[in-house]
């Protein structure tokens, strides 16, 4: 019987006082916590399954409140996310909910969050994002004893980013920025969003990496590629987290590796 496995981890990093990232996997949410051991869940393929990371905007109040609010709503909406329009509507409602919560409490004013994720349907994969958290299509894991760098020379890169970064164009030679051009909430007055949503056929063996920029900013694509060529499941997620920590752990890092089997 076909099934979906999701392995996830969330950690504040080495320089932040607390974790403003949140995660949703189906009905399960993880908000503002510390995990160093990846957790794996399995779900039957059929009903819509949402997997998403929300990254509270740093430098503004209550990013953890905004991100947790969004993933908890996505957990509720999840079973009804059966197409692109449903996903856009759900993200629009999440945006309204963040602003409404901020309006009710002055200390939450301008709180906001990014969000990126996938919805796995029986025969299709929906990818969505607002902001700069990422969804990356990942090729199959190879033999963990092989030479990943050598393998890359003979094949195409494993990684293919399928989300759309809501960031301004970068100057030549620069690979990251903390500036985003849209988010859920994040402004003194309500601002509508234009979510990025796309659909592709779902095939057995599909692997998707959903993560906050606490992974992709400090860790180069080649290193992420090497890890995901060599490992799968919990070992892959743990090695990705270790790479972020070895690179200084400058930000909260949340990782979810999604695999479709059968």
Residues β-bridged to residue 135: 210
Q: What's the CA gap between 137 and 159, in Å, rounded?
A: 6
CB–CB of 32/64 below 8 Å? yes
Kindly give the confidence (pLDDT) of every residue in the chain, 262 residues in length, as a single tens digit, with 9 standing for 90 and above.
789 999 999 999 998 889 999 999 999 999 988 888 999 999 999 999 999 999 999 878 899 999 999 999 999 999 999 999 999 999 999 999 999 999 999 999 999 999 999 999 999 999 999 999 999 999 887 644 444 444 444 445 679 999 999 987 777 667 777 789 999 999 999 999 999 999 999 998 999 999 999 999 999 999 999 999 999 999 999 999 999 999 999 999 999 999 998 7
Q: Concatenated DSSP letters for 132-177?
A: S-EEEEE-----TTS-HHHHHHHS--SEEE-S---SPPPPTT----
d(CA 256, CA 202): 18
In the block, residue with structure tokens 């510390």: 34
User: At a CB cut-off of 8 Å and minimum separation 6, what does 211 contact?
Assistant: 53, 116, 133, 134, 136, 240, 253, 254, 255, 256
Cα separation values, 90 from 16, 40, 78, 176, 197, Å: 30, 26, 9, 29, 12
User: What letter would DSSP give residue 248?
Assistant: T
pTM, two decimals, is 0.92
């Amino acid at each position: 019987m076909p099934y979906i496995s999701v392995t996830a981890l969330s950690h504040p990093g080495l320089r932040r006082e607390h974790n403003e990232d949140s995660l949703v996997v189906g009905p399960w949410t993880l908000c503002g916590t510390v995990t160093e051991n990846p957790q794996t869940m399995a779900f039957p393929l059929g009903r819509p399954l949402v997997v998403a990371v929300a990254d509270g905007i740093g430098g503004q109040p209550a990013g953890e409140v905004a991100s947790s609010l969004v993933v908890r709503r996505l957990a509720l909406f999840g079973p009804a996310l059966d197409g692109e329009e449903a996903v856009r509507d759900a993200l629009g409602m999440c945006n309204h909910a963040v602003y409404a919560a901020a309006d009710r409490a002055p200390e939450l004013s301008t709180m906001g969050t990014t969000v990126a994720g996938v919805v796995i349907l029986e025969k299709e994969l929906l990818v969505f994002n607002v902001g700069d958290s990422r969804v990356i299509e990942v090729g199959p894991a190879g033999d963990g004893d092989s030479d990943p760098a050598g393998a890359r020379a003979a094949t195409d890169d494993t990684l293919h980013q399928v989300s759309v970064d809501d960031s301004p164009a970068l100057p030549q030679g620069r690979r990251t920025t903390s500036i985003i051009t849209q988010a859920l909430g994040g402004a003194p007055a309500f601002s509508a969003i234009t979510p990025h949503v796309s659909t592709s056929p779902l095939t057995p063996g599909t692997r998707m990496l959903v993560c906050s920029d606490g992974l992709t900013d400090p860790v180069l694509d080649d290193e992420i590629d090497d890890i995901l060529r060599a490992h799968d499941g919990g070992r892959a997620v743990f090695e990705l987290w270790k790479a972020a920590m070895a690179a200084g752990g400058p930000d909260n890092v949340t990782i979810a590796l999604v695999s479709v089997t059968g």
